[in-house]
Structures are given as C-alpha cells and as structure tokens.
Amino acid sequence: MELIKLLGIIIVVAGFALKLDSILIIVIAAIATAAVGNLGINGLLETLGSSFVNNRSMAIFILIMLVTGTLERNGLKEAAAKLIGKVKNASSGVVIGVYGIMRGIFGAFNVSFGGVAGFVRPIIMPMATGAVTAKGKKIKEEYVEELKGMASGMENISWFFCQVLFVGGAGALLVQSTLDQLGYQVNLIDLAKVEIPVSVFAVLVGIVYYYLKDRRLYKKYYGEEK
C-alpha cells in the first residue's frame, strides 16, 4: 500500500515519457497524490497555497515561463526578429552587447525579467539570428549554437557583477557577510561604490569580447566581414 503513495510520480514520469501536455500532467499528478494521501480538496488547496507562499521566487519563475511560452507561441519570436531586421547594420554581436548593458542597468536595481529561459531564448536569440537573416543569409546551426552561448554568457556576466550594486540585495549581503567573517566590516553603501567600476569594466569586457567573437564567427561561416 505504501507504493500507491508514489502514484503522482508515476503519472508525471509516464506523462512526460508519452510527451503529453505538461500542465495537465502536473495537475492530474497533484490531484492523484492528494487522493491517495487522504488530503481532500481543502488539504490540496492549503498545500498548494502554502507551497506557493513559501516558494514565491520559484512560483514567479514558473509564471514567467508560462507567460513567455504563451507569447512565443503567438508570434513573439517572429516579432523580435522582424524588429531587429529594421535596424540598419545591426549584428548579432551588437544585439548581445546592447542586451548586456540593459541587463546590467536592471540588475543594479535588482530587477530580473526571466534570465536565459524567460528573456534570452524567446527575445534576444530571435533578434540575434534575425540580424543575420536580415542580410539575406541562411542561419547555420553551428552559428546559432555559438550565439546561444554568447547571449547566455552576457546574461551571466551582467547579472553577476551588477546585481551586487543593489543595496540590501542578496548578492551584496553575501559579500558583506563574507568580508565580515574575514574581519572586514563594511557597510552596503561603501560596498556598492567599490563595485561600480568593477561591474562596468566586467560588462564592457564582455561586450567587446562577444562583439569580436561574433565578427570572427560570421567570417568563418559566411566568408566575409560584417
């Protein structure tokens, strides 16, 4: 009888293996788990509510993913590619560099909008590839894979170095507590002041590096300069 309590897991594994609708599988698994666990409707709703409150960050991430997926299905990628196609002399490296600046500015205010999964994949990548197709070139799969790594790398650099600029943010508090353990007492304002030139330099290095790498890759795959 103990094995029946694993019914929800079995439903999830079977549903994903059969490539059924993900949301439907999770809902059915939750209901089945509540049924075999004698939670009842009230118990199920209370568990879902408390889990949502205790894991707000993950819940918000899931909501962003759902919204992004819905927009992507309804033409978000096509709209992003069409937009960048209207910009004269745009290139994939420029798109990634501009995103790095934007990500750094928002990161300094501790504002996140999906990261790699929620923003880079559905918006930045179509714009990066659209900059190539707008020149009449057929995008090569190897080039796309390189662009994925470059865009994700720019996301990580900008967010990692700029989110510590937000006074009271998790990154700044972590640095402060680490320094405190080492015997250095610093306040968050002074810490942010020190981090400003570091974050600016890091983002600029990332922009220059990916811009030059994109030019080299473009010449490699298409035999000409951008």
pLDDT for 4: 67
Q: 117-146: b or e for each residue (b if 16 or more CB lie within 10 Å)?
A: ebbbbbbbbbbbbbbbebeeeebeeebeeb
Q: What's the pLDDT tens digit per position in 88-114?
A: 778 899 999 999 999 999 989 888 777
Q: Averaged over 178-189, what is the pLDDT?
A: 87
Residue 199 has pLDDT above 90, yes or no: yes
Residue 216 has pLDDT above 90, yes or no: yes
pLDDT for 148: 94
Confidence bin at 61 (pLDDT 50/70/90)? low
pLDDT for 19: 79
Structure tokens at 86: 């209207």
| Portion of the chain with pLDDT greater than 90, in percent | 27
**What does pLDDT average to over the chain?**
81
Residue 219 has pLDDT above 60, yes or no: yes
Check: CB of residue 25 under 8 Å from CB of residue 15.
yes
Q: What's the pLDDT tens digit per position in 131-177?
A: 888 888 888 899 999 999 999 999 999 999 998 888 877 788 888 88
Q: How far is CA 70 from CA 78, 93, 94, 143, in A?
A: 13, 28, 27, 27
Check: CB of residue 161 under 8 Å from CB of residue 199.
yes
Opening angle at CA 199, ends 206 and 213, nearest 5: 0
| Portion of the chain with pLDDT greater than 70, in percent | 79
CB neighbour list of residue 108: distance below 8 Å, 6 or more residues apart: 162, 163, 165, 166, 199
pTM above 0.85, yes or no: no
Q: Averaged over 170-198, what is the pLDDT?
A: 87
**CA-CA distance, 209 to 150, in Å (whole number)?**
9
Q: How far is CA 145 from CA 117, 125, 128, 132, 152, in A?
A: 15, 10, 11, 14, 11
Highest mean pLDDT among 80-84, 119-123, 127-131, 196-200: 196-200
Helices (H), the chain: 7-17, 22-36, 40-54, 56-73, 76-85, 92-108, 115, 125-133, 141-162, 170-181, 188-222
